[in-house]
Structure formats: C-alpha cells, structure tokens
Structure 1
Amino acid sequence: MSGKISRNTPLIFKIAKEKFTAIEVGIFSPGEVAVESLSAGEIGYIVTGIKQPGIASVGDTVASMNDTLAPLPGYMLPRPVVWASIYPESQDDFTTLKQALGKLKLSDSSYTYEEESSGSLGRGFRCGFLGMLHLEIISERLHREFNLELVVTMPTITYEVTYKQGAKAGKREIIYSPAHFPDEGLLSEIKEPWVNITMITPIAYVNNIMPLLYEHEAELGDSENFGKDRTRLFLKMPLRELMRNFFDKLKSLSSGFASISYEIEGMRKADVVRLDILVADEVLPAFSRVVSRRIVEQEAESAVEKLHNILPRQMFVMNIQGKALGRIISSRKVSAFSKDVTQHMYGGDITRKMKLREKQKKGKKKMKERGKGKVNIPQDVFLKMMRS
C-alpha cells in the first residue's frame, strides 16, 4: 500500500510470520525483467528464496521487518471441504507421487495432504480439496504432468458429531473418514455441510430434473426465466448428495445443457448412518461409507451385489454382507470351489461315496475354523470398487 522494496531488503510474510530477504525484484514485460526497486502501485514479483512449500500463499501481506501494522483484512486460510485418499497403482511410484504433490503445492496452496497407509492399497496420501472440481483438477494434473497412474478413493466430507454417552459424552468431534464414523447409538447429533447451488438449464428439461432434485434431498428456492428458453434455479443441498454422481446424472437428463455452480452455506443437522461391508464376517474399512438413512438399504444392496460379482471364490463358502443400523441389511453368498472327490469311483456301495463327501465337508470346515474365515482381497478388486 505504501513504501518501496529493493533488492536485499529484509521482509516478512505477515500471516505466515516467515522472514526472508528479497533476492531479486522485477516486473513483467511480458517476461520477467529485474529492476532496482518496486514502489507502491507497481505490479511485479519478488524472489524470496524460501524453499518450503505452503509458506507463500495468495492473499498474504508482505511488509518490511520494522512494520508494526496489522496485515491487510480479507485474508482467510482455505479450508478443505472434500476429502479423498490418493494412492499410486504401483507402490514403486510412491516417492514420485510425494514429490509431485509437493511441487503442485507450490502453485496451489489451497489443498492439503498427509501420508497414510492402507492394508489393501499400500501407502498413499489423505488429501483435502475445496470441492469436487478441485479434486478433479489435481488428479488430472498428477496424471498429465507427472505420468502417474492413480487410485482415487470415493470422495468424502467432514461430519461434526456430538457424543451422548461413553467416555466422550457431550464432546464434539470432526470425522474425516467413514471408517472412523461412530456407531449410531453413541451420537446425539450429526452435522454436515450444505451448499447453495445455482443451476442454469433449458426450460424443456426442468420436468426431467425435478425427480433428480428430490432423489438428492435438494431444497428448491426461487427460479427465474431469462433469454429465449432458459431458466435459473436456486437450490440448497447436502454436499454429500452433490458428490453422489449428481453432476453426471444432471448432464444425462439435460443432454449436457444444464450447468451448476455452488458455494458452501454452512453446517446443518444430518440423518446419516455408516454402512460397513463385511467379507467372511470381517469389516473392510476401505469400503465403509456414510449414507443417508433413507437410502441405506439401496446402497447396501448395490455395494454387496457389485462385490459379489468381482470377488474371486475361495476354498470355503463366504458371506458378503452390508451392515448398518446395528444389523445386516444385505447379504450374498459366494460358493466355494468344489471338487468331485468320488469321480474315481464307479459303481459300488453308495455309502462309500457318502463317507468321502462327509470327509471333504469336515476338512473344509476345519480349514475355515483354522484360518478364522479370513479372505485375502486382491488389489484389482479394490480398484474396481473404488472406480465404481
């Protein structure tokens, strides 16, 4: 706002509280051209020499070391609202992925990432984004600029829960992962983020879109017609529902003509539950999700059916189950590999065949008890489920 910055001037980022010395100052003409100094009102650049990503961020105030004024108002730290885990398809690319995320952080400080480990997908990163579009942009940049093949888990949002009993009674907690979402009986209140949506569509498709809005729990506000045959709809919707393939369905129903923009409104009470997928009585955290109570049975049936179709058979019979609300609400059985142990026998007493079959049955039962029915899920099964 005032003053002058020259080369070798001691400076400070007011928000980040990081001190540095200007190595070079310059202007764009249109390329970078070094100059002796930059004065108030001029547009240019400062070479800081800071090597840590995330220190220099858009909106921070640069001031001299002796400046005692408060930073310029209006700056807000970006707060992630959508979370997803990113894993390399091959664990050999983990180091490359880590370096790529660090480089992208230099040009886009609004996303966050931290290392995490999954027993099924290996090492990866838990990333926070400003929205679904932001997630798509970062994923696409990692693929195009760094030639990385990635596994991106189903996007999730944060929930604010209040406990009603147990050691945490009365406490509030932010839940980032469906696998850590508490059981229903422990909670007195759940809150989730809602969004304000502005939708523009040709009038001819409005009747097609209305059932979709009901399906995704949208609240329809005002509407206005403009132009020749277009209308603008103002909606409010849970962010959770916006991520449930809403945009793809909207494009399909409107032949690609409808478009939306959205912004976070705030937190509201939510009626949601955690849906767990069990294989051979063992919960698989990678497949857990938080869904609306009214569609939990539909989601459980869909997930169990999909997993049933792609999961390889084992040497023993195993159950694939969807569990929510404290009970099993969907179940499919995967038959075991079978071998005709009597194929070498021709004729003779039927009791000989019955004894062999009974022996085979006992052997499979003993094997299941010994291994406690655990199933090793191949990685390609996880990939197919994540990309559904």
Structure 2
Amino acid sequence: MTDLSLIRNFSIIAHIDHGKSTLADRLIQITGGLSERELKEQVLDNMDIERERGITIKAQTVRLDYTAKDGKTYELNLMDTPGHVDFAYEVSRSLAACEGALLVVDAAQGVEAQTLANVYQSIEHDHEIVPVINKIDLPAADPDKVKLEIEEVIGLDASEAVLTSAKSGIGIEDVLEAIVTKIPPPSGSRDKPLKAMLVDSWYDPYLGVVILVRVLDGALKKGDQIRFMQGGTQHLVDRVGCMRPKIEQLSEIGPGEIGFITAQIKEVEQARVGDTITTVKNGATEALPGYREPQPVVFCGLFPVDAADFEKLRESIGKLRLNDASFSYEMETSAALGFGFRCGFLGLLHLEIIQERLTREYDLDLITTAPSVVYRIQLGHTKTEDAQEILLHNPADYPDPSRIESIEEPWIKATIYTPDEYLGSILKLCQDRRGIQTDLTYVGGRAQVSYELPLNEVVFDFYDRLKSISRGYASFDYEQIGLREGDLVKMSILVNGDPVDALSMIVHRSVAEDRGRHMCERLKELIPRHLFKIPIQAAIGGKVIARETISALRKDVTAKCYGGDITRKKKLLEKQKKGKAKMREYGNVSIPQEAFIAALRMGEE
C-alpha cells in the first residue's frame, strides 16, 4: 500500500493539437514506463483515427513512478482526457478523479476555446492548476505573451509557468517536479466503507469489460463482491491492476489510487461512467454526486449502400456499442433507403467517429441521413386524444401540424476565438444562423465572441463553414443552455409528387425557402433524366416553396417518316404525347444512391 502523501493524481488539459499526447509520451519515457523499443508516438492514443487526426477520443490512464529531487519515490497517476466538447461528461468524471491538472498551452497559438471550457471545469473541482507552456522551440513561440494571456483570460498566476518542448524533451523534469510540489496528495481513509468512482470502461475481447476506478475510501481487492449504486447490479471482482501503460496486476487498490478491475461483466452498458462502486456487505450508503446518464444530442439514420449488408451493419453496431455505451440505436426503415438504424450521438464529432469506425473497422459502405436534434413538441387535445408532450428524434415522425401548439428546440452557448481579420465573416455566419451575440472581448490580437445559437443550425455545416472562412484559425467550443420555442416546420422533398422521407428535415420558417431551393437545385443536377418530365419540389405541408423540373429525354418518333403528309407526323407526336402523360402517371423515378449521398452531404460544400 502506498502512503497517501506520495500519491499524485493529475490530468492534462489542452486544446486539440497543443501537445497533450506528446507530453504524456515524454513523461512515460522519462519515468521508465516503457523501454525505447516499445515507445511510439501518442502511446495513449490507441485508435488509428486518434493517431491520424491527432485527437484523443477515449480517456486513458497510466501509473508512473518518479523519484523526485527530495529523494522520495512518488506514484503519479496521469489521466489523459479528450479535449473535444462532445466528450465533456467523460472529461468531468476524469477531472473529478484528480486533485490537480497540467494546463498545456501552445507557445505559438496561446489560449483557445476548448482550453477554457475544460479549465473552468477543473477550477470547479477545486484543482491546483499548473500552467505548462509547450512548443517553446518553435520560431513563432512567444512564452511571455502566452503567460500574459493565461493571466488575463483565465485569471491564473502564470509567473511560475513551466516552459517545455515535449517534442524535443526540454523541461520535462521541471514538469515532474511541479506535479510533485504543487499538486496536493489525495485524501481518503482505509477504515471507511469502500467508495470508488467509475471513471471509464471499455471492452476487451479477452477480459470482458475493464473498469477504470478511483478509490476514495476503503480498498478494492480481488474476490470482493461489489455493487454499482446507480446501476443496481452486483459483481465479483476477479482481477485488480493498473496500467504502466502495460497491464500490471496488483493485490489491491487503496484509497487515493487509480487502477482497473474486471468483474466478468459482458456489456459496457452495465458499467456507466460516473457510477459509485461499493461492497455488497457494509457498503457506503450515499453515492457520489455528479452522476448523469449520457444523453444523445444529435440523431441521424445510418443505412448500408448495399441492402445485403444490413445484417453486417447490425452486427457491427452491436460490437461498437460494446465499447461505447454513449450512443444509442434502433431499427428504422425508409422507402428510399431500405432498412437501417436511427442512431443518437453526443455530438457531431462523435457521429463522425462512429461512422468512420464502422467504415474502416467493419468495411461497410454507409449512407448517413441529414443530422437532426431532439425537439420537444406540445400537442393540443382533440376529440379522441388528450394533450401531450412528445420528443421528436426523426423528422419522418413529425405529427399532424394542426395539433401542434408549440415546438421547442435545443440552444447552445458558443465561444469562438478568432484572429481579428476574420471577425466580420464569423459574425455574419453566426447572424445567418439565427445567432444572438452575448459578448465580444479582445485578448491580445484575438477576439473572443460569445453567441447563443440553435443547435439545429450548428449540426448542419456550421463547423466546416467556420473553419473555411477563418482558414482554420478560429477555435470553437459550446455548451447546451436548454430548450427554446421556435417557429419550426417540417420541409418535405417531393420527387415526381412522391415525398422522399430520407431527405425531409425540420427547419426554421425563415430559412426554409432558401434550404428548399438549394436542395431542389442539387437534386436536379444529381437525378438522371427519364423519358418524362420530373418535378422536384420542396414543400411545407401542402404549400410548395421551391421547384425545379428535370426535362424529359426526347425520342425522335418522326425519324421513320420520309415524305408524305404532315398529318402522319402529327399523329405520331400526338401518340407520343399521350404515352408520356401516361408514363408520368405510372412511371417510377429511380434516384441513384450517389444522388442521395451527394444531396445529404449538401452542407459540406
């Protein structure tokens, strides 16, 4: 058992690409966690997508032993957290398991939006925060300016900030010393009933579900009968250990320590992040605060391009769900796209990652319908039905408009950091997306803008537009601020008079016409011509708001006539006209899959 005064639990907070994973690599290397041969870049990012994009998706933990200048050997537990807003709840649980944090800021880029969001969470947990200014060997580095920014924007004293370059290994010893001297040791008692927080869980094909825990009081040993206080299930612990970053088995995890357990659990669903673990006998009576169920925010349909792949898709989603309990799915059918699934995600990045993992790891070709958010609809009472409140995930399930009394949509508070020269275009973008400006301040040469925006407008293509108009320099972070009533309508797309359910969407009345016209123009380019005219319409209820017509392919029926009377030609043309009218009535328009994919990617231009 390690003495509590020699334990340090800390996490690393940083914006994407500020060198968080590289710093973690160096700390592991210097403390001898891995040999030179085993070391590779981004040790803690073990998914291909994480490595390619340079982002952390799953929180990782590693235990390091460090002999400080005072001669004592300390046990350091490092939690590498995701930086992206979609995983904010995971971050909050990881931070709750620590006593301090390293705030890593790029010496060339300064403080950015995600850094702020996570720092404020860390301050709420009463953490001791150690500022670390990274990449000081870059030609554009300006550590003094960044120190000033940290003090101005965050309000932290940065006079003793540690200057490092994780890539070239400068200042790593100073970081370790700062962890030991500035971050406080954990508190906890061995004699109290067991109370441990479930920080994370993932599925291992050999061990089943592996659970990452932070023990607050008591001790966790092999053979303990444990109970999940929020989940209500009981399990027998069959393995206790820690990551160094390779798995190492231990006899127990004591108070203040972070480690993992396995307990023959088959589904990640049962091991919910934030749950409290205690023993069945003489266990704790109160659960730890802060637990909540993961709530999907963005919904979209996933359909296989080849209908024969449906079973494969079902199996693949089931396997992914083993590893990520925060997305939900249910079966849905579409007249245009066949069988598929309606899936709920924590945010747009989460959606993109799940989609990419299905494509790569399970070799599937997918069609994704336009992402939508959850709307709360108040229905009035009729002669046969009472008034009720429903949650709408899928535009295809939109109720009868005559019964709708009000529709509420989710809103977010967005914080955008941008160099001054792109400010005008960004303000216009937010304005076009029905944004309400709440704040505009300057930090150094950069503007910090706060906007309240409807989430519906953000999921469409906001992030891509923001990055393209700021040439990638703007950073963006958001938090949800609840539901507000809006003038929202369902826009249907009709091809040859038939509604295409996969292309219907819920939009604000003020932008409906614009979106409808854009969609009709796009489909006109994508749908091949037939032997009859094809009208493409965007409609709200029975009112058509935009229309395009694909002209018919013309067959020259008079080609076989030579000489003779004009009446023969007229007779043939009349016959053709009747045939075309009949064909329009009964003809089917085949919309190729590529047209669907391109139309649904409309926002990515």
Q: Shorter-normalised TM-score: what interval?
A: over 0.9
Q: Which amino acid aligns with 1:170?
A: A
Does structure 2 retain, via aligned residues, the 8 Å contact 1:6–1:38?
Answer: yes
The separation in 2 between residues aligned to 1:142 and 1:148, in whole angstroms, is: 6
Does structure 2 retain, via aligned residues, the 8 Å contact 1:83–1:129?
Answer: yes
Deviation of the 1:44 alpha carbon: 1.6
The separation in 1 between residues aligned to 2:433 and 2:572, in whole angstroms, is: 56
Does structure 1 retain, via aligned residues, the 8 Å contact 2:371–2:460?
Answer: no
2:547 corresponds to 1:327: no
Give unpaired runs (5+ residues) of structure 1.
none
Is the alpha carbon distance of 1:162 and 1:251 closer, same or farther for their aligned partners in structure 2, counting shifts above 3 Å?
A: same
Deviation of the 1:325 alpha carbon: 5.0
State the TM-score, normalizing by the size of structure 2.
Answer: 0.61
User: Over the residues paired in the alignment, what is the CA RMSD in angstroms?
Assistant: 2.0
Does structure 2 retain, via aligned residues, the 8 Å contact 1:165–1:187?
Answer: no
Which residue of the partner structure matches residue 180 of structure 1? 397
Higher relative contact order (CA 8 A, sep 6+): 1
2:527 corresponds to 1:300: no
Deviation of the 1:92 alpha carbon: 4.1
Which residue of the partner structure matches residue 385 of structure 1? 599
Post-superposition Cα deviations, 1:13-53, rounded to whole Å, max 9, x if no partner, equal 22222222112112333422222333333322111111124
Which residue of the partner structure matches residue 10 of structure 1? 225
Which residue of the partner structure matches residue 24 of structure 1? 239
Match of 2:589 among 353, 375, 378: 375
Q: Which amino acid aligns with 2:601?
A: R
Which residue of the partner structure matches residue 431 of structure 2? 214
2:371 corresponds to 1:155: yes
Provide the aligned length of Structure 1 versus Structure 2. 385
Q: Which amino acid aligns with 1:21?
A: L
Residue correspondence of structure 1 range 227-242 to structure 2 within 5 A: 227=444, 229-242=445-458
Is the alpha carbon distance of 1:168 and 1:131 closer, same or farther for their aligned partners in structure 2, counting shifts above 3 Å?
A: farther
The separation in 2 between residues aligned to 1:169 and 1:52, in whole angstroms, is: 39
Q: More deviation in 165-174 or 38-47?
A: 165-174
- Counterpart of 1:110 in 2: which secondary structure? coil
2:438 corresponds to 1:224: no
The separation in 2 between residues aligned to 1:48 and 1:123, in whole angstroms, is: 36
The separation in 1 between residues aligned to 2:598 and 2:571, in whole angstroms, is: 42
Post-superposition Cα deviations, 1:240-277, rounded to whole Å, max 9, x if no partner, equal 11123222222222222111100111000111111111
Match of 2:575 among 359, 365, 371: 359
Post-superposition Cα deviations, 1:120-177, rounded to whole Å, max 9, x if no partner, equal 2233221111111221222233334334332222110011111235444531111111
Match of 1:268 among 484, 494, 518: 484
Q: Percent identity?
A: 39
Q: More deviation in 251-260 or 95-104?
A: 95-104
Q: Which amino acid aligns with 2:539?
A: K
Q: More deviation in 3-12 or 347-356?
A: 3-12
Deviation of the 1:239 alpha carbon: 0.3
Deviation of the 1:304 alpha carbon: 0.9
- Counterpart of 2:523 in 1: which secondary structure? helix
Q: Which amino acid aligns with 1:194?
A: W
Residue correspondence of structure 1 range 90-239 to structure 2 within 5 A: 90-164=306-380, 166=382, 167-168=384-385, 170-227=387-444, 229-239=445-455
Q: Which amino acid aligns with 1:57?
A: R
Is the alpha carbon distance of 1:307 and 1:20 closer, same or farther for their aligned partners in structure 2, counting shifts above 3 Å?
A: same
Match of 2:500 among 281, 284, 296: 284
Deviation of the 1:332 alpha carbon: 2.0
The separation in 2 between residues aligned to 1:212 and 1:28, in whole angstroms, is: 46
The separation in 1 between residues aligned to 2:537 and 2:381, in whole angstroms, is: 28
Is the alpha carbon distance of 1:33 and 1:94 closer, same or farther for their aligned partners in structure 2, counting shifts above 3 Å?
A: same
Q: Which amino acid aligns with 1:278?
A: L
The separation in 2 between residues aligned to 1:260 and 1:202, in whole angstroms, is: 13
2:269 corresponds to 1:54: yes
- Counterpart of 2:558 in 1: which secondary structure? coil
Does structure 2 retain, via aligned residues, the 8 Å contact 1:276–1:284?
Answer: yes
Give unpaired runs (5+ residues) of structure 2.
1-194, 196-216
Does structure 1 retain, via aligned residues, the 8 Å contact 2:335–2:501?
Answer: no
Deviation of the 1:186 alpha carbon: 2.6
Is the alpha carbon distance of 1:206 and 1:148 closer, same or farther for their aligned partners in structure 2, counting shifts above 3 Å?
A: same
Q: More deviation in 204-213 or 273-282?
A: 204-213
Does structure 1 retain, via aligned residues, the 8 Å contact 2:278–2:284?
Answer: no
Is the alpha carbon distance of 1:92 and 1:296 closer, same or farther for their aligned partners in structure 2, counting shifts above 3 Å?
A: same
The separation in 2 between residues aligned to 1:81 and 1:293, in whole angstroms, is: 22
- Counterpart of 1:343 in 2: which secondary structure? helix
Deviation of the 1:288 alpha carbon: 0.4
The separation in 2 between residues aligned to 1:68 and 1:288, in whole angstroms, is: 51
Deviation of the 1:290 alpha carbon: 0.9
Does structure 1 retain, via aligned residues, the 8 Å contact 2:412–2:480?
Answer: yes
Does structure 2 retain, via aligned residues, the 8 Å contact 1:120–1:382?
Answer: no
State the TM-score, normalizing by the size of structure 1.
Answer: 0.92
Deviation of the 1:115 alpha carbon: 2.4
Does structure 1 retain, via aligned residues, the 8 Å contact 2:242–2:258?
Answer: yes
Is the alpha carbon distance of 1:307 and 1:165 closer, same or farther for their aligned partners in structure 2, counting shifts above 3 Å?
A: farther
The separation in 2 between residues aligned to 1:68 and 1:3, in whole angstroms, is: 10
2:257 corresponds to 1:42: yes
